[in-house]
Every structure is written in C-alpha cells, then in structure tokens.
Amino acid sequence: MATAIVLINTDIGAEEEVLNELDRIEGVTEAYVVYGVYDIVVKVQAPSMDKLKEIVTTRIRRLPKVRSTLTMIVVEGKELKK
C-alpha cells in the first residue's frame, strides 16, 4: 500500500468546498481543514505508487479551487495505539 500526505493551499474561503470535493475522491482516507501555511491536510492511500501518483496529479491537483500542493510520500510508518 502506497501512502502520501498532501498539503493543500486553496483559494481564499474555498476550504469547505475543496474538502467536500476531496470526500468524493477514491483513495482519500482523511482530510482536515487546518490553520497555518496550508489550508487542508490530506492522507491518500492507494494499492500502488502509480495509482497514488494518478490520484494526486489528476484528481487532487486539478480541483478547481486548489492553488498549490505539497506531497510527502510516506516511506515508513506505524499506527500508534493510545
């Protein structure tokens, strides 16, 4: 399973609209509106790196009110239990 964290900047005031669009994209498993340099943080999971690339480049980055993205490919991880 390939995983990425995508940081998104949206047009001003478009955070909720983009969040709703992200909910319709297969592979987007989590999405949060946040304060700070970026507007939305998204977790994307796909069965392969090629599919992950497709989701980010052809689905997320092409959403109408997305201004820019920064994608971080997960190399290693662990689900923490609390």
Segment 34-45 shows an average pLDDT of 98
Kindly report the pTM of this predicted structure: 0.93
In the block, tokens 């995983």 appear at: 3
60 closest CA partner among 15, 22, 4: 22
65 closest CA partner among 22, 10, 23: 10
Taking only the tens place, the pLDDT of each residue in 62-77 is: 999 999 999 999 999 8
pLDDT surpasses 90 at 78: no
5 closest CA partner among 42, 37, 38: 42
Show me where the domains of the chain are located.
Answer: 2-73
CATH architecture observed for domain 2-73: 2-Layer Sandwich (3.30)
Rounded distance between C-alpha atoms, residue 80 and residue 21, angstroms? 28
